[in-house]
Chains A and B, each alone.
Chain A
Amino acid sequence: MLRNIILKTLRDRRRSLLFWGLGLVALAVIMVSFFPVIRDAPFISDYLESFPEEFLALFAGEVTDYTSPEGYLNGELFFLMYPLLMLIFSIGFGSGAIAGEEERGTLDLLLSNPLKRWHLVLDKFIAMLICTLLLTFVFWAALAAGGAIIDMGLNLARLAAVCFSGFLLAITFGSIALAVGCARGKHGLSIGVGGALGVYAYMLNALAPLIAWLKPFQVASPFYYYIDANPLKNGLDPVHAAILIGLTVIFLGIAIITFERRDLAV
């Protein structure tokens, strides 16, 4: 596990990955095991409709067919909980990748080796992709297994589509955090910028459908490309996925260019 930067980074994360994985499995199992209660209580839909639309929009998106498996999972997991957790993980990863090493002082020894700076950033980015994808898979598998046990009748490919869409959203924000860390070398700043942008983007996407003047700006939010095409019902929207990938590549590029051109902090 110490053969190269990617493996070393995965090795450093192994304990964190284990606990994140366990957490996501627990979340999936609890949410799925609660579904039969909702399914067998049709009045829940009426109850939900009694809430103000704005309130629901903020936490669960446009709630329709809440008693169907897709409607339930979208409202309870995929609108807020899942992307929130994935963003926390990827922003933490992206900000620690370069700025974390720089602040701990280990970057000098690392870069005294014959190692290009862009190569280091790319390796750290790849490690972030692998770890985030691993968590995505674990979450998908837990939902699929839980769904099978209670006979939820989920389409596993569509379930994979929404999980993967969340992965793309997570690496978009992870690469924003990476870029800030590469440009400024400040761990805290990079977590702050990544986290704040994540909250703004979420709010924009959640509230835009309700506020007329905000509506045109909804397409500026990466969350829109993650969930608006409803991948759990319709599968992955290739254009939306491509936009998230494009954003990720742009921020990776910014990370590399800024890191190549600046002085390393002591």
Chain B
Amino acid sequence: MTDNDFVIRTEGLTKLYGKQRGILDINLDIERGEVFGYLGPNGAGKTTTIRTLLHFIFPSRGRASILGLDIARKSLETRRRIGYLPGELEVYSNLTGAELLEFLSHLRGGVDWQYVQELAGRFDYDLSQRIKTLSHGNRQKVGLIQAFMNKPELLILDEPTIGLDPLMQQEFYRLIGEAKAEGRTVFLSSHIMPEVERVCDRVGIIREGRLIAVEDIDVLKERAIRRLEIHFAGSVSPEQFGNIAGVRDVQVQDNILTCTVAGEIDTLIKTAAQYHVVNLISHEPSMEEIFLAYYNQEDDRAA
């Protein structure tokens, strides 16, 4: 396999910052048309990886290529073909949205202004407002519009949905879907599991600067741990639930059963259905729980 087969390829990419944590030996192979989620808690190294790919910071070791071009030697050409949304977006807030996008479009050699207006319409974004008067969510919209407006081959989006209200998040997911349908590639970072589950084909999990797993989203979902809370009308016995495969930490108190489930929840639901169920609450797993799921299963395999 050569660089040309991948939209993003990193080999042993490392960035060390004195005593601060950077990223260590990141190996990524991202294929054309993929939506790749880069999942990890804040401070894990997501932004460091992305800023290295854009050549804002230079790797201590290792190398990377984008669209078959070495990021250090061909940085200009790669940036020409990338749409980028910074993690902590700062724009020229004395400009209006239209002025900012006009300026950026000149730097990129022009864009289809009709598409800009279409994007603004879809995000319900007022281009004539001075950016400094906008809420955080509306600033994020202008960031997304500029990333998408040239229809780039590769979108690199650092925490794209922060500050967006749920309706706008849906619109964003639709845009990702359209980009994928057109054969473009998306690399997005997130610290929210459900978001990654929702839009990504593959996920890389980064923790403390190391890439600990790269999985298809289906595999990740199977491994995902959910915390469930089932409220019953009468009493139930914990033993009956504790014996179900994948179910752990069963506790019953005041007719309320709590447990964690790894993978499928079908058997658990069917068992519960034999009783009178009053309520069913599912908690999304936190990043820590996802990591724990990984480490526990690695241990299981070893044993």
Task: Convert B42-79 into 0s and 1s, putting 1 for each residue whose CB lies closer than 8 angstroms to a CB of A.
Answer: 00000100010010111000000000000000001101
B99 and A2 contacting across the interface, CB-CB below 8 Å: yes
Closest residue to A116 on the B side, CB-wise?
Answer: B76
Q: Please, which residues of chain A bring their CB within 8 A of the CB of B90? A: 104-106, 108-109
**Of residues 1 to 17 in A, which have CB atoms within 8 Å of B's CB atoms?**
2-5, 8, 12
Q: Please, which residues of chain A bring their CB within 8 A of the CB of B51? A: 108, 264, 266
| Contact among A2, A109, A110, A264 with B89 in the assembled complex (CB-CB below 8 Å) | A109
B47 and A266 contacting across the interface, CB-CB below 8 Å: yes
**Of residues 101 to 116 in B, which have CB atoms within 8 Å of A's CB atoms?**
102-104, 106-109
B86 and A114 contacting across the interface, CB-CB below 8 Å: no
Q: Please, which residues of chain A bring their CB within 8 A of the CB of B47? A: 266
Closest residue to B158 on the A side, CB-wise?
Answer: A108
Q: Please, which residues of chain B bring their CB within 8 A of the CB of A264? A: 51, 56-57
Complex Cα–Cα for A180 and B58 (A): 20
Q: Please, which residues of chain B bring their CB within 8 A of the CB of A114? A: 76-77, 79-80, 107-109
B162 to chain A, nearest CB (A): 15
B109 to chain A, nearest CB (A): 8
B107 and A113 contacting across the interface, CB-CB below 8 Å: yes
B91 to chain A, nearest CB (A): 6
| Contact among A4, A116, A266 with B106 in the assembled complex (CB-CB below 8 Å) | A4
Tell me, yes or no, whether A112 is within 8 Å of chain B by CB: yes
A221 to chain B, nearest CB (A): 38
| Contact among B54, B92, B109 with A112 in the assembled complex (CB-CB below 8 Å) | B54
Tell me, yes or no, whether B94 is within 8 Å of chain A by CB: yes
Tell me, yes or no, whether A40 is within 8 Å of chain B by CB: no
Complex Cα–Cα for A109 and B95 (A): 14
A3 to chain B, nearest CB (A): 5
> Which range holds the interface residue count of chain A?
20 to 34
B56 and A109 contacting across the interface, CB-CB below 8 Å: no
Q: Please, which residues of chain B bring their CB within 8 A of the CB of A3? A: 106
Tell me, yes or no, whether B82 is within 8 Å of chain A by CB: yes
Q: Please, which residues of chain B bring their CB within 8 A of the CB of A266? A: 47, 51, 88
B86 and A109 contacting across the interface, CB-CB below 8 Å: yes
Tell me, yes or no, whether B84 is within 8 Å of chain A by CB: yes
How many A-B contacts at CB < 8 Å in the complex? 65
Q: Please, which residues of chain B bring their CB within 8 A of the CB of A12? A: 92, 94
B103 and A263 contacting across the interface, CB-CB below 8 Å: no
B58 and A113 contacting across the interface, CB-CB below 8 Å: no
A106-B76 contact in complex given A112-B86, A263-B56, C-beta closer than 8 Å: no
A184 to chain B, nearest CB (A): 15
Task: Convert B179-207 into 0s and 1s, putting 1 for each residue whose CB lies closer than 8 angstroms to a CB of A.
Answer: 00000000000000000000000000000
Complex Cα–Cα for A210 and B99 (A): 56
Complex Cα–Cα for A110 and B100 (A): 11
Q: Please, which residues of chain A bring their CB within 8 A of the CB of B79? A: 111-115
Complex Cα–Cα for A12 and B100 (A): 12
Closest residue to A103 on the B side, CB-wise?
Answer: B90
Complex Cα–Cα for A147 and B283 (A): 81
Closest residue to A104 on the B side, CB-wise?
Answer: B90
Complex Cα–Cα for A16 and B89 (A): 26
Q: Please, which residues of chain B bring their CB within 8 A of the CB of A4? A: 106-107
B155 to chain A, nearest CB (A): 12
**Of residues 124 to 163 in B, which have CB atoms within 8 Å of A's CB atoms?**
143, 146
Complex Cα–Cα for A218 and B104 (A): 47
Q: Please, which residues of chain A bring their CB within 8 A of the CB of B94? A: 12
B88 and A112 contacting across the interface, CB-CB below 8 Å: no
Q: Please, which residues of chain A bring their CB within 8 A of the CB of B99? A: 2
Complex Cα–Cα for A115 and B82 (A): 13
Q: For A114, A116, A264, which residue has the most chain B Cβ atoms within 10 angstroms?
A: A114
Closest residue to B103 on the A side, CB-wise?
Answer: A2
Complex Cα–Cα for A5 and B106 (A): 9
**Of residues 90 to 126 in A, which have CB atoms within 8 Å of B's CB atoms?**
104-106, 108-116
Q: Please, which residues of chain A bring their CB within 8 A of the CB of B103? A: 2, 8
Complex Cα–Cα for A8 and B103 (A): 8
Can you name 5 A-B pairs with beta carbons within 8 Å? A106-B92, A108-B90, A112-B79, A114-B79, A266-B51
Closest 10 CB pairs of A and B: A105-B90, A114-B80, A263-B57, A113-B107, A112-B84, A2-B103, A264-B56, A108-B86, A114-B79, A106-B90
List residues of B whose CB falls within 8 A of some A CB: 47, 51, 54, 56-58, 76-77, 79-80, 82, 84, 86, 88-92, 94-95, 99, 102-104, 106-109, 143, 146
List residues of A whose CB falls within 8 A of some B CB: 2-5, 8, 12, 104-106, 108-116, 263-264, 266
Query: What 12 new A-B contacts, CB under 8 Å, besides A113-B79, A114-B109?
Result: A2-B95, A3-B106, A108-B90, A109-B104, A111-B56, A111-B79, A112-B79, A113-B107, A114-B108, A263-B56, A264-B51, A264-B57
